[in-house]
Amino acid sequence: MNNRIKIEGKGEPVVLVHGMGGPKIWSPVITALKEKFQLIIPTFPGFLSEDVDFVYSDELYVDFLIDLRKHLKIEKWNVIGISMGGLTSLNYALKESNHISTLTLIDSIGVDYMSPILKLPLINKIFPGIIKGMLKSESSRFKLAKQDFVNQNGKACKECVEWFSEMVESKTVRSNFAQILASVGRPQKQWKKELSNLNLTVQILWASDDQTAPLAWGKWLNSKITGSTLKIINGYKHMAILEKPDFFTDAILDFISQKNQ
């Protein structure tokens, strides 16, 4: 477990739950947040080059967070999840809400299908192979990293492409990435019934131009989670955190500090 955790700063514990891009997505907000909090930045199974091939399940990543909290002997922490990490964080919250102080969801997937192709029969068997094949090619990696995540020009786009390409250089990570992507792009059917019972302080942060996780999903979560708040950043896409980190750090700092007042 220790090899999978990076800890920065001191103060109230905050776990940053990454998505398919891996934990580097948090790089732009670490400096500001670690001044106030103890940041716990884990790397999920499947995302390290030394990992073995494995079979993804939503429950596996939820159990990983439970084990992580126990390993660090934390009674309560603030949970922040982005994209796939939002899906995992919300499922984790449904299981262990008594150990969560606040929950922040950023452009979470899991509300509906990420692509109509995922509705097709037997696609689970075919889709991972297609993605693995694409990830072997540098030009295809570039397209996958760039397509909808940041505005098409500038430093953030370049960095996004570079770190994604570096992450999937490992054959094992490519295999795991493809398998995870084929699994997580579907709706979490239990949310329709269970979210209304979630007794937590929840903040939802969303980019207006996100096509990977459309704003309508954020609005749906806001309508289902009693007392949740929704803040929208206009003119940005799925990885807006790379281009406008101040929006996210300000929102997180305000949200957690208000909870503690």
Average pLDDT over residues 3-13: 95
* Element at 256 (helix H, strand E): helix 245-259
Could you tell me if residue 235 is left (phi over 0), alpha (psi between -120 and 50 degrees) or otherwise beta?
Answer: left
Which residues lie below 8 Å from residue 142, measured CB to CB, with a gap of 6+? 161, 165
Q: Report the amino acid identity of residue 165.
A: S
138-188 pLDDT tens trace: 666 666 655 566 665 667 667 777 777 788 888 888 888 888 888 888 899
40-98 pLDDT tens trace: 999 999 999 899 888 899 999 999 999 999 999 999 999 999 999 999 999 999 999 99
Whether residue 200 has pLDDT greater than 90: yes
Contact between residue 43 and residue 51 where contact means Cβ atoms under 8 Å apart: no
pLDDT class for 128, splitting at 50, 70, 90?
Answer: confident
The angle formed by the CA atoms of residues 188, 191 and 196, to the nearest 5 degrees, is 170
Average pLDDT over residues 187-199: 94
212-249 pLDDT tens trace: 899 999 999 999 999 999 999 999 988 899 889 999 99
Residues forming a β-bridge with 22: none
If one compares 36 and 131, the residue with the highest pLDDT of the two is: 36
**Mean pLDDT over the full length of the chain:** 89
Q: What is the CA radius of gyration of the chain?
A: 17
Per-residue pLDDT, 145: 56
Half-sphere exposure of 148 (CA within 13 A, CB side): 12
Q: How far apart are CA 55 and CA 184, in angstroms?
A: 12
Per-residue pLDDT, 255: 97
pTM for this entry? 0.92
